[in-house]
Amino acid sequence: MSLLDTIKAPKDIKGMSIEELKTLAQEIRDVLITRVTATGGHMAPNLGFVEATLALHYVFDSPKDKFVFDVSHQSYIHKMLTGRKEAFTDPASYTKYSGYTNPNESEHDFFTIGHTSTAVSLASGLAKARDLKGETGNVVAILGDGSLSGGEAMEGLNVSATLGSNFIVLFNDNDMSIAPNEGGLYPHLKELRDSKGKASNNFFKAMGLDYVFIEDGHNLDDLIEVFKAVKDTNHPVVLHVVTVKGKGLPAAEADKESYHYIMGKDFDVDAYMKEDHYDEIIATHLLAKMKADKTVVGLTAGVPGIAGFSAERRAEAGKQFIDVGIAEEHMVAMAAGLAKNGAKPVILDAGTFLQRTYDQLTQDLALNSNPATIISFPLGGGISSMDATHSSAFDMAMMNNIPNLRVLSPATKEELIAMLDWSLEQTDMPVMIRVPGGKVQTYEAGKAFIGTLTNEVTAQGNTVAILGLGAFYDLGLRTKEALQAQLGIEATLVNPRLSSEVDEATLESLKANHSLVVTLEDGVLDGGFGEKVARFYGPTDVKVLTIGMKKEVNDRVPMKELVARYHLSPELIVEDIKAILNK
Ligand SMILES: Cc1ncc(C[n+]2csc(CCOP(=O)(O)OP(=O)(O)O)c2C)c(N)n1
């Protein structure tokens, strides 16, 4: 029986000797490597946080003492120690719990988290509420060095310095974000590490926080000693803990970026390599554009890999690629400045992370008509089986309704490239291009985009018109075929290309010989494209069927279930059409 087998709750490690804790740390590493290799997940962040998590649970008393993990992608060990270890040790239970903290899973988790840089702010609220209620207990925010580059983390540190009561920030410094850290702060963090916390240039002290340095974040004796010393502190303190990302797995230590998140064993690398992928297509094209025009500049907020910008491509792009750190708001405002001063900025980010920057999109880009291009990547697709925190179902609805921002949804790779080329040359407005989820599609029709911002009727028919937006153009094509086969209806097929506006001329022309218009979109319906079409036809006899996601939280719901629930298949859509047409 292993030591890990004996642990059902944090109290079970409290009686262990340091030697036993060290053995347990090794067991946990072995389990992490086996489990994450099988299922995929955040390998390197967790391997680097084994001893620190053990020491936290050894010294503090969770859940009375509260831990808030930033991003919470490094919370696997915390899960193992808080009654959820079967999700790591038992293959049949591997998918039982999510990869992030979630209060529905455990009383030891306080927030559902997946976006970065929020832990200090969230934890400061917990601490303030504790104080207002006259309660006791420690509050610990766990913040990574990458996440520190996000403005919210800095805002949180600034405010929490004034709490005047117990507040601990465990700053987990492994000198890496997903990719290497960028920005003027990081050489100073290195100075702090190199001087064992003694350098006079101390960001945390400048913020008004007490500061303790722990040189070896894998030394349980040191960690436990310092944690005991700061437990029940009466003021805010930062524990600067130096760790090694990927600790204990040589491949991960050597290639921290690739091992930040890895795919599981079922992922077929060979098949993947044989296929086309939008990130590769975009990165290759953008690099060529950069070479031809020195004012083209790519920007990302800590996620270059999402857009195919590997270390090699970043080096190739040189000064024309900027990783701003995990600072989405800054990225969008900087893009506004770049556009204003004649450069051609291209923002490359995931739709879910762009949610953070609604204000900059609205004010700095759209209101000021600054012509930046935003390429929004849906992680795993718009409607997807992702964690709720990482859903990209909402980016289109968010962007669609910002005046003076055009949202384009290419259906094919040719169209995507044509839209990007057009957007780079126009100077009237910011443009978002929503990368289609799923397999790369290529149709001749997609070549027609010349920046006219009109819908494209790709097949003229009658009775039913199908408007298949972006990734769902293909679903439209298949629905058209199913309609023909099952009801003998020759439907009209439209590639709308644009979701922020309706093309009134095209919609007007459909009135003549169509009684039903079907819209298909890979995102939430509320605020989406279909609603705009429905509003256009509201005062007319034309009926509108909108297919897309209902406004609700979906957390790792299998795609099969979502297809059935939202009728995302040709068969189910034909059933709906039949019912409406009384066929
Ligand atoms: C708002 C937001 N932007 C980007 C991401 C993607 N992301 C997840 S973890 C991470 C890096 C975090 O680095 P760090 O805090 O140093 O933690 P480490 O993984 O190195 O332990 C990034 C960029 C995200 N989750 N949320």
Residue 436 is classified by DSSP as P
Average pLDDT (353-372) is: 98
> What percent of the chain has pLDDT above 90?
97
| Tens-place pLDDT, residues 303-334 | 999 999 999 999 999 999 999 999 999 999 99
Question: What six digits make up the tokens of 366?
Answer: 């759209």
> In testing the pocket of ligand 1, which one of 69, 113, 116, 117 has its CB within 8 Å of the most ligand atoms?
116
CB 392 within 8 A of CB 363: no
CA of 148 to the centre of ligand 1 (A): 9
Place 447 in a pLDDT band, splitting at 50, 70 and 90. Answer: low
**Rounded mean pLDDT of the chain?**
97
pLDDT in the model for residue 62: 98
Whether the per-residue pLDDT at 550 is higher than 90: the answer is yes
Nearest-CA residue for ligand 1 atom 24 is 115
Higher-pLDDT residue of 89, 451: 89
Q: H or E segment at 350?
A: strand 344-350
**pLDDT (tens digit per residue) in 490-524:** 999 999 999 999 999 999 999 999 999 999 999 99
Q: 548: exposed, middle or buried (C-beta count within 10 Å: 0-12, 13-18, 19+)?
A: buried
Place of tokens 């405002």: 333
Encode pLDDT of 228-249 as tens digits.
999 999 999 999 999 999 999 9
Q: Tell me the DSSP string of 92-120.
A: GGTTSS-SS--TTT-TT------SSS-HH
Q: Report, in angstroms and rounded to the nearest whole number, the Rg of the chain calculated over CA atoms.
A: 26
- In order of 112, 115, 211, 556, 562, the CA distances from 387 in angstroms are 10, 11, 35, 5, 14
Contacts of the segment 233-236: beta carbons below 8 A, 24+ positions apart? 233/138, 233/166, 233/167, 233/168, 234/165, 234/166, 235/163, 235/164, 235/165, 235/166, 235/167, 235/210, 236/160, 236/161, 236/163, 236/165, 236/167, 236/168, 236/169, 236/209, 236/210
CA of residue 518 to ligand 1 center, whole Å: 39
What pLDDT shows up at residue 307?
97
Write out the H or E segment, with its range, that includes residue 493: strand 492-495
Atom of ligand 1 nearest to the CA of 144: 15
- Concatenating the DSSP letter of every residue in 211-235 gives EEEES-TT-HHHHHHHHHHHTT-SS
SS3 of 543, please? strand
Query: Quick one: which atom of ligand 1 is closest to the CA of 116?
Result: 26
Protein residue closest via CA to atom 16 of ligand 1: 146
Q: What is the mean pLDDT of residues 4-31?
A: 97
Q: How confident is the model at residue 446 (pLDDT cuts 50, 70, 90)?
A: low
Whether the CB-CB separation of 163 and 156 falls below 8 Å is answered with: no
User: If you take atom 15 of ligand 1, which residue's CA is the nearest one?
Assistant: 144
Identify any residues that bridge with 66 across adjacent strands, giving them in sequence order: 139
- 256 CA closest ligand 1 atom index: 20
Whole-angstrom distance, CA of residue 467 vs CA of residue 494: 5
Confidence of residue 583 (pLDDT cuts 50, 70, 90): confident
Spatial distance between the Cα atoms of 533 and 76, rounded to a whole number of angstroms: 45
CA separation for the pair 422, 404 (Å, rounded): 17
Let me know if 64 is exposed, middle or buried by CB neighbors in 10 A (0-12, 13-18, 19+). exposed
Give the separation between CA 315 and CA 51, rounded to whole angstroms: 35
Show the tokens assigned to 87: 């999700």
Q: Give the residue with greater pLDDT, 60 vs 451.
A: 60
- The ipTM assigned to this model is 0.99
SS (H, E, C) 120-153: HHHHHHHHHHHHHCCCCCCEEEEEECCHHHCHHH
pLDDT bin (cut points 50, 70, 90) of residue 448 is: low
**Residues 54 and 220: beta-carbon distance below 8 Å:** yes
Residue 549 pLDDT > 70, yes or no? Answer: yes
Atom nearest to 302 CA in ligand 1: 23
pLDDT tier at 453, thresholds 50, 70, 90: confident
List, chain by chain if needed, residues with CB within 6 Å of any ligand 1 atom.
Answer: 45, 70-71, 73-74, 114-116, 144-147, 172, 174, 176-178, 245, 260, 301-303, 326, 353, 356
Domains in the chain: ranges and CATH: 21-263 (3.40.50.970), 275-444 (3.40.50.970), 452-581 (3.40.50.920)
CA–centroid distance, 407 to ligand 1, in Å, is: 27
